[in-house]
């Protein structure tokens, strides 16, 4: 089966070739996400006809795009008031992201993988020079965050060179999506970090070795991930974890976060409902799950975050408000992805323009308060499970944490990524001026995803309230210091 071919976008090939002549790329050694909420209505989604005839088209691609742009404009407008029950995350501009799928090859054999295993047999990987030209053109077109994914990008021998080139071109943030197996080797992980890697997003699908190893069909893969996490912490590289839900793991979501949040002190998570495409479509009976069955365990998982007052619970991908009312603020797809993805064949796909091309809405959605904003169910899910779970919401639901939210610094021992950045900088040297602090932060990979200098300072202010950081005004300057005795140590991976 041939891999899908996303739409091709134009690029400045002459500039890229000039750049590559001037810089010998091979000689150089280094996609939760704070979504931007779309608040306006409009015919956002063109729905394909369902086999059952219960889904109806709702607007063409042009009207969807116009509505999305209008929504973004409205999102940036001053708000007259906020309701705790609304999706009320402040809108702001995110840096543009560019993801390159370097290959389809992968050591893991996950039955729920949305890629077709036949693609792996094709030696269809992007040549180094094409990848180099692509990332340079993307930078010229305004992208500032680079992601390398697959398949499994660590199977590429030239991954360190690509990371180094991305940093030299100007990307401050360089991420890979990985199964973590190769990164159990500290020397290899350090090579990637030295090349300029700033963030690693793991695909981990179980709360223990028995579950994860069964799903990947690779004995020892769970322990490899834990060792990789330990290696990255030593190297001060940012870490995130995705979990794709299936019949073997969804009941253990609370235990999953008890390990990765409470014990290992990770803080960047995405819960993904599977796509029923590729290999997964062949294994629906043993792997597929209804969203309504998953929902109670997602709620229990969020309680793990609420109990410790952690301000950044998991993001949710391929979920809808009718399945999890009150969790809209965490749902990806309600926001601008701001991401371009390019396949190993070089075909480009804008996630904001295509995210709604493969979703469906039953007629019941017309009565829902979110009808103009919700993009609907994934079409591949609807093919296998139908849309009987749809219950039109007649009013905006109350937020899942309404009435329980506290100030972000109260009763908390796990840090956000920005707060971890502050701690790691001040561990290096105490008594820093603000200028010295921000300058030193530039040297730490984990600090590369901070939105701006204000984000770092705001994180430091929170740590002051927590009693972990102090700030003194001396000789016309603020001096920042860390009280390491206040900081709880995470368990070893």
The pLDDT score that the predictor gives to residue 352 is 79
Same domain, 233 and 151: yes
Buried b (16+ CB within 10 A) or exposed e, 402-432: eeeeeeebeebebbbbbbbbbbbbbeeeeeb
Confirm if 258 and 304 have CB atoms less than 8 A apart: yes
Same domain, 186 and 133: yes
Q: The domain spanning residue 306 has which CATH number?
A: 3.20.20.70
Q: Cβ–Cβ contacts within 10 Å for residue 194, how many? A: 14
| Gap between the Cα atoms of 258 and 304, Å rounded | 7
Per-residue pLDDT reduced to its tens digit, 371-421 = 988 888 899 999 999 999 999 999 999 999 988 878 777 878 899 999 999
Structural domain range at position 141? 13-34+87-385
Same domain, 421 and 374: no
Which residues make Cβ contacts (< 8 Å) with residue 123, sequence separation at least 6?
none
Tokens of 221: 């893969």
Beta bridge partners of 30: none
How many domains does the chain divide into? 2
What's the rounded mean pLDDT across residues 337-348?
A: 89
Same domain, 231 and 368: yes
Q: Cβ–Cβ contacts within 10 Å for residue 294, how many? A: 20
Measuring CA to CA, how many Å separate 265 from each of 1, 118, 126, 270, 443?
A: 41, 38, 36, 15, 22
Confirm if 318 and 272 have CB atoms less than 8 A apart: yes
Residue 407 domain-assigned (yes or no): no
Residue 80 domain-assigned (yes or no): no
The pLDDT score that the predictor gives to residue 39 is 27
Per-residue pLDDT reduced to its tens digit, 105-138 = 999 999 999 988 887 776 668 999 999 999 999 9
| Gap between the Cα atoms of 156 and 99, Å rounded | 16
Residue 382 burial (10 A CB sphere; 0-12, 13-18, 19+): buried
Residue 332 domain-assigned (yes or no): yes
| Gap between the Cα atoms of 412 and 459, Å rounded | 13
Confirm if 231 and 184 have CB atoms less than 8 A apart: yes
Same domain, 368 and 432: no
Per-residue pLDDT reduced to its tens digit, 272-287 = 999 999 999 999 999 9
Q: Per-residue DSSP letters for 332-365? A: TTSB---EEEE-TT--EEEHHHHTTTTEE-BGGG
Same domain, 439 and 364: no
Same domain, 359 and 468: no
The pLDDT score that the predictor gives to residue 68 is 46
Q: Is the pLDDT of residue 451 over 70?
A: no
Same domain, 347 and 481: no
Same domain, 362 and 474: no
């Amino acid at each position: 089966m041939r891999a899908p071919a996303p739409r091709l976008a134009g690029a400045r090939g002459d500039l890229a070739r000039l750049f590559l002549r001037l810089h010998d790329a091979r000689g150089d050694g280094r996609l939760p996400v704070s979504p931007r909420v779309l608040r306006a209505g409009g015919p956002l989604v063109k729905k394909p006809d369902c086999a059952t005839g219960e889904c109806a088209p709702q607007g063409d691609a042009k009207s969807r795009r116009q509505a999305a742009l209008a929504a973004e404009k409205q999102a940036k407008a001053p708000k007259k008031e906020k309701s705790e029950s609304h999706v009320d995350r402040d809108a702001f501009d995110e840096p543009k992201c560019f993801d390159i799928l370097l290959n389809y090859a992968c050591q893991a054999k996950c039955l729920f993988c949305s890629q077709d295993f036949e693609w792996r047999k094709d030696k269809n990987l992007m040549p180094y020079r094409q990848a180099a030209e692509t990332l340079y053109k993307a930078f010229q077109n305004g992208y500032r965050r680079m992601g390398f994914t697959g398949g499994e990008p660590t199977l590429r021998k030239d991954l360190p060179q690509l990371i180094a080139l991305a940093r030299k071109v100007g990307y401050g943030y360089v991420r890979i999506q990985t199964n973590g197996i190769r990164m159990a080797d500290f020397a290899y992980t350090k090579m990637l970090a030295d090349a300029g890697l700033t963030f690693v997003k793991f695909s981990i699908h179980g709360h223990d070795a028995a579950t994860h190893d069964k799903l990947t069909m690779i004995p020892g893969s769970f322990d490899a991930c834990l060792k990789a996490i330990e290696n990255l912490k030593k190297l001060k590289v940012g870490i995130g974890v995705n979990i794709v839900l299936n019949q073997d793991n969804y009941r253990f979501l609370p235990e999953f976060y008890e390990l990765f949040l409470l014990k290992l002190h990770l803080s960047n998570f995405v819960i993904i409902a599977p796509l029923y495409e590729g290999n997964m479509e062949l294994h629906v009976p043993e792997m597929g799950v209804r969203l309504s069955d998953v929902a109670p365990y997602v709620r229990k998982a969020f309680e793990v975050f609420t109990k410790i007052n952690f301000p950044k619970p998991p993001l949710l991908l391929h979920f809808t408000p009718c399945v999890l009312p009150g969790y809209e603020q965490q749902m990806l797809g309600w926001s601008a992805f701001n991401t371009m993805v390019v396949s190993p064949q070089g075909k480009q796909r804008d996630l904001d323009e295509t995210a709604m091309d493969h979703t469906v809405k039953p007629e019941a959605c017309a009565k829902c308060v979110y009808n103009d904003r919700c993009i609907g169910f994934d079409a591949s899910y609807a093919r296998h499970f139908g849309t009987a779970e749809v219950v039109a919401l007649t009013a905006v639901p109350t937020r899942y944490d309404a009435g329980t939210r506290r100030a972000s610094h109260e009763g908390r021992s796990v840090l956000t990524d920005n707060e971890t950045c502050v701690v790691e900088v001040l561990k290096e040297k105490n008594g820093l001026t603000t200028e010295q602090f921000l300058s030193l932060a530039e040297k730490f990979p984990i600090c590369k995803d901070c939105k701006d200098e204000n984000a770092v300072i705001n994180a430091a202010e929170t740590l002051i309230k927590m009693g972990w950081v102090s700030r003194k005004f001396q000789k016309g300057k603020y001096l920042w210091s860390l009280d390491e005795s206040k900081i709880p140590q995470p368990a070893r991976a």
